[in-house]
Amino acid sequence: MVCRCEQLAGGNIELSPICISRLWIFQNLDAKDREGLCQETCLRTLTTGQALFLQGEPTDDMFLIKGGRVKLSKVLEDGSELTLDIRKAGDFVGENMFSDEGDYPVSAYCLENTLTCGFSRCQFEQLVLRHPKIGLQIIKNFSERIAWLTQRVGSLAVTNIEDRLYRVLTSVAQEHGTISFRGP
My answer on whether 80 and 159 are in the same domain is no
The reply to whether 35 falls in a domain is yes
The reply to whether 28 falls in a domain is yes
Q: Which three-class secondary structure state does DSSP give residue 85?
A: strand
Q: Which three-class secondary structure state does DSSP give residue 7?
A: helix
My answer on whether 89 and 152 are in the same domain is no
Q: Which residues, in sequence order, are CB contacts of 51 under 8 Å at separation 6+? A: 107, 108, 109, 110
Distance (Å) of CA 77 to CA 83, 106, 109: 14, 13, 20
The reply to whether 138 falls in a domain is no
Q: Please report, for the domain that includes residue 15, its CATH number.
A: 2.60.120.10
The 10 Å CB-count burial string (b at 16+, else e) for 20-31 is bbebeebeebee
Q: Is the pLDDT of residue 131 over 70?
A: yes
Q: Which residues, in sequence order, are CB contacts of 161 under 8 Å at separation 6+? A: none
My answer on whether 152 and 76 are in the same domain is no
My answer on whether 73 and 154 are in the same domain is no
Q: Is the pLDDT of residue 159 over 70?
A: no
Number of domains the chain is built from: 2
The reply to whether 183 falls in a domain is no
My answer on whether 28 and 54 are in the same domain is yes
CA distance 121 to 51: 18
CA 78 to chain centre: 30
**Residues 72-86 pLDDT 10s:** 999 999 989 999 999
My answer on whether 80 and 106 are in the same domain is yes
Please state the length of the chain.
Answer: 184
Q: Is the pLDDT of residue 47 over 70?
A: yes
Domain ranges, residue 67: 4-130
Q: What does the pLDDT average to over 93-109? A: 84
The reply to whether 113 falls in a domain is yes
In contact, 70 and 16? CB cutoff 8 Å? no
pLDDT higher at 104 or 13: 104
- Percent of the chain, pLDDT > 90? 22
In this structure, what DSSP letter does residue 55 have? Answer: T
CA distance 62 to 37: 13
Q: What is the mean pLDDT of the chain?
A: 83
Q: Is the pLDDT of residue 2 over 80?
A: no
Most confident of 10-14, 40-44, 145-149, 167-171: 40-44
The reply to whether 92 falls in a domain is yes
Q: Is the pLDDT of residue 11 over 80?
A: no
- What per-residue confidence (pLDDT) applies to 169? 81
Q: Is the pLDDT of residue 16 over 80?
A: no
